Structure 1
């Protein structure tokens, strides 16, 4: 399988992160439209996170790590989700801090976007090492080299 160049990988991963962020924040807006943001903030964040996670997993599995399904989906998705716990805490903490500081939807969404951006960088490294490592070590492995490996010319 042809390896992606680093710029192509970064653009693809960032694009998928943006799609997942849009799904996440769109879901939050939809939930928050049903009533008082003070009461619905936690459910909105939780449901938005779940939707964003499902979108990102689906795109990463196929287009970043080129995993063709050798690991049973529930187990792999659980591991993928587990790798996201720390990054989700970072995202939620940043989003909540911005809300508490400025009490505005724009600030909350800015905090969410910042937290998600940093979280996705960390998450890629965790997923590459722990979730999709099997797919990356096979003949038809990931298009990106693992740390310490050189990229084919």
Structure 2
């Protein structure tokens, strides 16, 4: 796949995961806007986005064909660990915008900006540490 194709596909998948994340947050926040519900919304949205992005990246970005619980368990664990740093970027940006402006629109703008930066970092970490065997077959982008 060309670099342009990879970037477009990865950006599309990131957008899908972002939309799933934010939709999940909105569903949770329909119950109210307390600090506890906010934390639950952020965690639930992150979980939904993580699962969706892993499935898409594994198959369509890194062309990883490993199967079985052991392979998935190991890779998903590494994928999640790599996401801790990028999640901190996302949560920090989203929370800073929410605390600064106090509106849903600002919170979501902060989330989108944080996720954008986070996904760029995440791709590079995943390529280097998670999907290493998939990269060797020459189909995954450099």
Quote the residue 1:33 is aligned against.
30
- How big is the shift at 1:37? 4.1
Matched, 1:49 2:41: no
Map Cα deviations across residues 99-136 of structure 1 (whole Å, 9 max, x no partner): 00000000000000000000000000000000001111
- How big is the shift at 1:38? 3.4
Runs ≥4 residues deviating over 2 A:
36-39
Matched, 1:22 2:22: no
On the 8 A contact 2:134/2:140 being kept in 1, the answer is no
User: Structure 1 CA distance, aligned partners of 2:5 and 2:116?
Assistant: 18
- Structure 2 unaligned regions, length at least 5: none
Quote the residue 1:108 is aligned against.
107
User: Structure 1 CA distance, aligned partners of 2:114 and 2:84?
Assistant: 13
Quote the residue 1:89 is aligned against.
88
Map Cα deviations across residues 34-76 of structure 1 (whole Å, 9 max, x no partner): 1234331100000100100000000000000000015611111
Matched, 1:61 2:76: no
TM-score under structure 1 length normalisation? 0.88
Flag the structure with higher helix content. 2
Quote the residue 2:117 is aligned against.
118
SS of 1:8's equivalent in the other structure is: helix
On the 8 A contact 1:67/1:142 being kept in 2, the answer is no
- Structure 1 unaligned regions, length at least 5: 146-153
Q: CA RMSD in A?
A: 1.2
User: Structure 1 CA distance, aligned partners of 2:125 and 2:33?
Assistant: 36
SS of 1:67's equivalent in the other structure is: coil
